[in-house]
Amino acid sequence: MRPQIGSDTWLKLDVEGGEYEIVPVLLKSTPRLRLITMEIHEFNLRGDSLLRLLRESGYSIAGDTNAGCTIAACL
């Protein structure tokens, strides 16, 4: 059974590269999450596309995006 995710949720992802598949699905299929924190793997190869998707979905980004470390996306 898939857990229910409400709009007042802080979602922490540590999925070892799965963020590129999970985040787009979450943004399409769940209520708008208040806060998402995640570690972005392969940042120098694909990280910009994930950050762009989050920004286009209304999130602001905080964290060290230059190093590809943990970031937080907030509504």
Q: pLDDT digits over 17-67, tens only?
A: 999 999 999 888 777 888 888 888 888 888 889 999 999 999 988 876 665
Nearest to 27 by CA among 56, 48, 1, 49: 56
pLDDT at position 66, please? 63
Does residue 3 form part of some domain?
Answer: no
- The owner of tokens 């540590």 is 14
Residue 68 confidence (pLDDT) above 60 = no
What is the C-alpha separation between 64 and 33, in angstroms, rounded? 21
What is the C-alpha separation between 52 and 50, in angstroms, rounded? 5
Does residue 4 form part of some domain?
Answer: no
pLDDT at position 9, please? 80
Does residue 31 form part of some domain?
Answer: yes
Does residue 61 form part of some domain?
Answer: yes
pTM: 0.81
- Which residue range forms the structural domain that includes residue 61? 10-74
Per-residue CA distances from 46 to 18, 57, 65, 75 (Å): 12, 17, 12, 22
Does residue 66 form part of some domain?
Answer: yes
Does residue 17 form part of some domain?
Answer: yes
Which residue type, as a one-letter code, is found at position 60?
S
Does residue 33 form part of some domain?
Answer: yes
Does residue 1 form part of some domain?
Answer: no
Residue 8 confidence (pLDDT) above 60 = yes
Count of structural domains within the chain? 1
